[in-house]
Chain A
Amino acid sequence: MVTTEKEASGAQERGAAAAIVARLQGVSKSYGEIQALRNVDFSLRAGELLALLGPNGAGKTTVVKLLLGLAKPNHGTVEVFGGTPAEPTVRMRVGAMLQVSRVPETLRVREHIDLFRSYYPKPLSVSEILGAAGLTEIKDRLFGDLSGGQRQRVLFALALCGDPDLLFLDEPTVGLDVESRRGLWEQIRRLVARGKTVLLTTHYLEEADALADRVVVLNQGSVVAEGTPSEIKAKTAGRRIRCISRLALEDLRQLPHVISAHQDRETVEIRTARAEPVLRALLARDPELSGIEVTSAGLEDAFLALTRDHNHNSSDSPRTKFPARGN
């Protein structure tokens, strides 16, 4: 990490915020007919934890694959440590935790780690890796005998083996129970505290909020928002108004500040950034307005609003649009 810190301070002397460790510029990527990414731009600065937030199928994994040199963009450039991601010298400085359906089950935890350590010029010591991933107690177990949370921790440990300056964690906590998730968060926080740069993908706003310095929101292959977690929340901290109204949905959607409006049995549900002006407008236009209920949109709703906002014309109901959990 010494080099990165040096680079970071060097960049600051030149008046820049922090050195850029990795960058996507105008990147588009399609798999056959499917357009996975459209003109994506963002960069990763030294020492930060950037969360790439978006529903399933938003293109998060594709971004990670591009940054690891496992895929090539159709358009645009991908740069890591000033080089192309597939270069061996770049890979020596990078660690990755990917989504894997099956890991060889008949090797022990320490054996998996021993093998991955051998790939790197200056690996962390075995005990450091075991400690950082919380595996010391179970180092002699076969991978096949581990629980889901323990398996994720082994994959996390493998990402740490080379003592990388830059880590990619692709949905590290997917499918984990609350306790395991918080445990892994703690371990990720410790990495950042040690000065590592981390890119984490997630479809939990809560997770991005808990860990990230900066959040990039991705939906249907495009960046729809970027900022600190509080900026993202401010953008999305909406209200939900439920009421019984005679106004047509189309008219409701035309009201200022309204993000979306849906019929839910006899009530309509309106999402908005600010409740007061919408309520005033509603009361003014519909004297028979009744059953008013205003609630603050939860984090999940907020996130939904943000991605919905981007493709307004979508007629999907919010429930079906919400990303499935724990796949």
Chain B
Amino acid sequence: MATTTAALTTSSHQPPTRKILTVYWKEAKYEFLKNLRLRMYSVATIFFPLMFYVLFGLVLGRRSMGGFNPASYLIPTYGTFGVIGASLFGTAAGLAAERGLGWLQVKRASPMPTFAYFTAKIAMSMAFSAVVVLLLMLLGVTLGGVHLPLWQAAKLLGVLVAGSLPFCAMGLAIGYFAGPNSAPATINMIYLPLSFCSGLWVPIMFLPKLLQQIAEFLPAYHLSQLALGVVGAGRQESNWTHWQYLIGFTLICLGVARFGLQRDEGKLYG
């Protein structure tokens, strides 16, 4: 009986930083390509916010929205709507399917750094968020006659892309609890009511009083107010309060996602 175990020639080689960066880069690049080619994701994510904007902001928009013309007011709100969609679907749908149907296991058996898997999904979602926001602004400026100075456009883009993070965190949390095939339905059941109640479709001041009060507890409301604030259409509440809500929400979601990850490992890998 051979009792010698082939010992590892431990040179304890630390992979060089460049090598690690390559992994993170490729993981994100292919995550992006994968979703770009997945029309269910790329078309839906970009098309719906733009369609709503054209419909309610450009074609039907007559009514003044708190002193603003709809084409201006709806860029930040549909921008928020688009960012949340790109983030939730970009993280939750892929994660739920990949962990439920075995692909994540193949990756986990490799030396892939686990963190690279998650950052790739977040980076991809942020990239799509940026595309949606840029296209909305382009439509508004060209077809809606919206006056949007460059610095304002840049700030709006920055706020909304940063604001995709809380919803990526939420997506990871959902991805750990939704079934592989039911995830898109689950996401919609959260995404659509959340968007409506936060005043992303119909401006917040046109919502019933009760919904307006509920909105103040919803992360989507706080992001939309930050975005509206950039163009001076917000409700003059403290930006810091909005950020605090979003940061708190992000932390809660990351906590839930972490719990899901550990539960999953207990079940699947424990």
Could you tell me which A residues sit within 8 Å of B by CB distance?
A: 3-4, 7-8, 11, 14, 16-21, 23, 31, 43, 45-46, 65, 68-72, 79, 81-83, 88-94, 96, 98-104, 106-107, 111, 114-116, 118-121, 142, 155, 158, 161-162
A220 to chain B, nearest CB (A): 22
**B80-97 vs A: 1/0 string, CB under 8 Å?**
000000000000000001
B63 contacts the other chain (Cβ, under 8 Å)?
Answer: no
Which residues of chain B are within 8 angstroms of A17 by Cβ–Cβ distance? Answer: 2
| Chain A residues, CB < 8 A from B33 | 106-107, 111
**A residues near B12, Cβ cutoff 8 Å:** 89
The answer to whether A79 touches B111 (Cβ under 8 A) is no
Q: Is the CB of B38 within 8 A of A106?
A: yes
In the complex, residue of chain A having the shortest beta-carbon distance to the beta carbon of B39: A106
* Minimum Cβ distance to chain B for residue A84 (Å): 11
> Does A91 lie within 8 Å of B105, measured CB to CB?
no
Segment 1-52 of B: residues with Cβ below 8 Å from A:
2-10, 12-13, 15, 19, 22-23, 26-27, 30, 33-35, 37-38
Would A96 and B109 count as touching, CB distance under 8 A?
yes
Residue ID in chain B nearest A6 by CB atoms: B9
B268 interfacial contact with A, CB 8 Å: yes
Contact between chains at A98 and B37 (CB < 8 Å): no
Contact size class for B? Answer: 35 or more
Known contacts: A16-B2, A68-B109, A115-B30. The answer to whether A83 contacts B102 by CB under 8 A is: no
- Residue ID in chain B nearest A100 by CB atoms: B102
State A29–B111 Cα separation when bound (angstroms).
24
Additional A-B contact list (4), CB under 8 Å, known A19-B6, A23-B5, A119-B110? A83-B8, A100-B103, A102-B101, A106-B34
CB-based contact A65/B269 at 8 Å = yes
Residue from B6, B26, B98, B101 in contact with A20 in the complex, judged by beta carbons closer than 8 Å: B6
Most chain A beta-carbon contacts within 10 A, residue among B8, B37, B101, B268: B8
Contact of B3 with A16 in the complex, beta carbons under 8 Å: yes
